[in-house]
């Protein structure tokens, strides 16, 4: 790496050896599927061994405690209070559990979201609308940008919850969550943040942001694979929340098999549902631990440097950039709104360049802590060449 004329070392590349898979292709898809840490294979082998050798005793010996332990690893990544993160299968379910705890009683029956939130969440809110919740979808402005002023104006005393993304999945725009959370608090509303596109690449501090609930998953920047979502609930609000979407594992004493009334656990387990997805949490942990050891601040610094380099190359090659340029506004992904984007994406995937295409915005490419600068340069050349071949 050359900076200011001097050659410096990219210390984060030392972690590359933990991700042998990145040697086999150009991995620019961590916004969609992070590379697999090599520790996952051994962790899953041990999981199978425990299942085989300990059988039912595994629950008591390791499995029952595991989601809480893994939740705490995650919690440290977002400066959550110990014991405030519960694990579940995915973000959709994490949000569904959280929202099931709100009563949306009129006049406070509004959910404020944005048109650029992830479709799974929008479908969930549509379901709530069928049950009487008034869903206010703040529209995007030109370039699919969400203007915080529009969001702030939509929040009032009729708002029960502001449910928005921290980083928008299409454009990688970072929203000013602290300002939105402040406004929500003033109006007496809760905040529920979908932090899937931020945690692991953009620093998140739930306490500094002042958010009440935050959901995320593991597949992307955390290199944790599918099946492991999580929900942070601030201890300020947790005791008052009684999820309707619940299950026996949320009970204070699940093994009493008490027919009810339900007595919810007083910690993060009150947000569990049924039997936890142990193998997914086992597979997710090595990625979380690596990200925690590196530190998201260092990941962000590198991400800003490499995404700036990608933007500069895009300008040089006349590839239109759709993601925000300002540092405070851009997440870890660079969006290139090139002609024939879907075709270009297919051709690049066929030659082991991992990236993706999203209708309406074009190509999404993301470097991560394991990306070398020469890969950044190469991927941008390959995109330029494919766009030219496609007639763009
Ligand atoms: C911002 C955001 N939220 C949610 C999801 C999906 O969440 P899940 O599949 O874990 O429900 C994605 C991507 O898959 C995303 O980018």
Q: Is residue 35 part of a domain?
A: no
Tell me: pLDDT of 392 over 80: no
Paired residues of 86 in beta bridges = 231
Q: Is the C-beta atom of 37 inside 6 A of ligand 1?
A: no
| One domain for residues 103 and 234 | yes
Q: Is the C-beta atom of 201 inside 6 A of ligand 1?
A: no
Q: 13-71: per-residue pLDDT in tens?
A: 999 999 999 999 999 999 999 999 999 999 999 999 999 999 999 999 999 999 999 99
| Structural domain ending residue among the three candidates 273, 293, 313 | 293
Into how many domains does the chain fold?
A: 2
User: Is residue 83 very low, low, confident or very high in pLDDT (cuts 50, 70, 90)?
Assistant: very high
> For the domain that residue 341 is a member of, what is the CATH number?
3.90.1150.10
Tell me: pLDDT of 276 over 50: yes
Q: 306-331: per-residue pLDDT in tens?
A: 999 999 999 999 999 999 999 999 99
Which of 93, 170, 174, 196 to mutate to test ligand 1, by most ligand atoms within 8 A of the CB atom?
A: 196
Domain that holds residue 64: 42-293
| One domain for residues 112 and 201 | yes
Separation of alpha carbons 161 and 295, rounded Å: 31
Protein residue whose Cα sits closest to atom 16 of ligand 1: 169
User: Is residue 6 very low, low, confident or very high in pLDDT (cuts 50, 70, 90)?
Assistant: very low
Which residue, 328, 332, 293, is CA-closest to 310? 332
Phi, psi of 217 (to 5 degrees): -140, -175
Give the pairing of strands 110-114 and 6-7. Answer: unpaired
| One domain for residues 309 and 286 | no
Give, for 161, the enclosing helix (H) or strand (E). strand 159-165
| One domain for residues 287 and 315 | no
| One domain for residues 157 and 265 | yes
> Which pLDDT belongs to residue 391?
86
Tell me: pLDDT of 9 over 90: no
Separation of alpha carbons 146 and 333, rounded Å: 17
| One domain for residues 72 and 136 | yes
| One domain for residues 289 and 323 | no
Q: 119-178: per-residue pLDDT in tens?
A: 999 999 999 999 999 999 999 999 999 999 999 999 999 999 999 999 999 999 999 999
Return mean pLDDT, the chain: 96
Separation of alpha carbons 113 and 161, rounded Å: 9
| One domain for residues 14 and 69 | no
| One domain for residues 267 and 324 | no
> Which pLDDT belongs to residue 5?
40
| One domain for residues 220 and 312 | no
Separation of alpha carbons 70 and 239, rounded Å: 21
Q: Is the C-beta atom of 169 inside 6 A of ligand 1?
A: yes
- What percentage of the chain reaches a pLDDT higher than 70? 98
| One domain for residues 189 and 333 | no
The 3-class secondary structure across 231-265, one letter per residue, is EEECCCCHHHCCCCCCCHHHECCHHHCCCCCCCEC
| Structural domain ending residue among the three candidates 258, 293, 328 | 293
């Amino acid at each position: 790496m050359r900076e200011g004329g001097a050659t410096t070392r990219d210390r984060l590349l030392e972690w590359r050896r933990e991700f042998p898979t990145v040697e086999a292709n150009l991995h620019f898809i961590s916004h969609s599927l992070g590379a697999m840490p090599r520790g996952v294979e051994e962790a899953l082998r041990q999981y199978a061994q425990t299942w085989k050798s300990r059988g039912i005793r595994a629950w008591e010996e390791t499995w029952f405690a595991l989601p809480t332990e893994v939740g705490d690893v995650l919690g440290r990544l977002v400066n959550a209070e110990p014991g405030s993160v519960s694990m579940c299968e995915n973000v959709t379910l994490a949000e569904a559990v959280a929202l099931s705890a709100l009563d949306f009683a009129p006049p406070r029956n509004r959910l404020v979201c944005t048109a650029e939130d992830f479709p799974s969440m929008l479908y969930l809110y549509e379901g709530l609308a069928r049950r009487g919740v008034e869903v206010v979808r703040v529209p995007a402005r030109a370039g699919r940008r969400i203007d915080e002023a529009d969001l702030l104006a939509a929040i009032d005393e009729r708002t029960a919850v502001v449910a928005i993304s921290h980083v928008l999945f299409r454009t990688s725009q970072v929203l000013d969550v602290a300002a939105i959370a402040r406004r929500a608090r003033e109006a007496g509303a809760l905040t529920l943040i979908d932090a899937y596109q931020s945690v692991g690449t953009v620093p998140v501090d739930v306490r500094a942001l002042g958010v009440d609930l935050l959901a995320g998953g593991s597949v992307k920047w955390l290199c944790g694979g599918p099946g492991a979502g999580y929900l942070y609930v601030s201890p300020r609000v947790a005791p008052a929340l009684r999820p309707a979407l619940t299950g026996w594992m949320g009970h204070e004493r699940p093994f009493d098999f008490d027919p009810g009334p339900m007595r919810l656990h007083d910690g993060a387990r009150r947000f569990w549902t049924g039997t936890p997805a142990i193998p997914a949490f086992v597979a997710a942990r090595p990625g979380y631990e690596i990200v925690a050891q590196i530190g998201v601040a260092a990941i962000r610094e590198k991400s800003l440097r490499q995404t700036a380099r990608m933007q500069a190359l895009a300008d040089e090659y006349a590839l239109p950039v759709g993601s925000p340029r300002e540092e405070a506004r851009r997440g870890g992904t660079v969006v290139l709104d090139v002609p024939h984007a879907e075709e270009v994406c297919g051709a690049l995937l066929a030659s082991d360049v991992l990236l993706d295409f999203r209708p309406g915005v074009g190509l999404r490419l993301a470097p991560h802590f394991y990306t070398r600068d020469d890969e950044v340069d190469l991927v941008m050349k390959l995109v330029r060449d494919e766009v030219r071949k496609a007639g763009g």
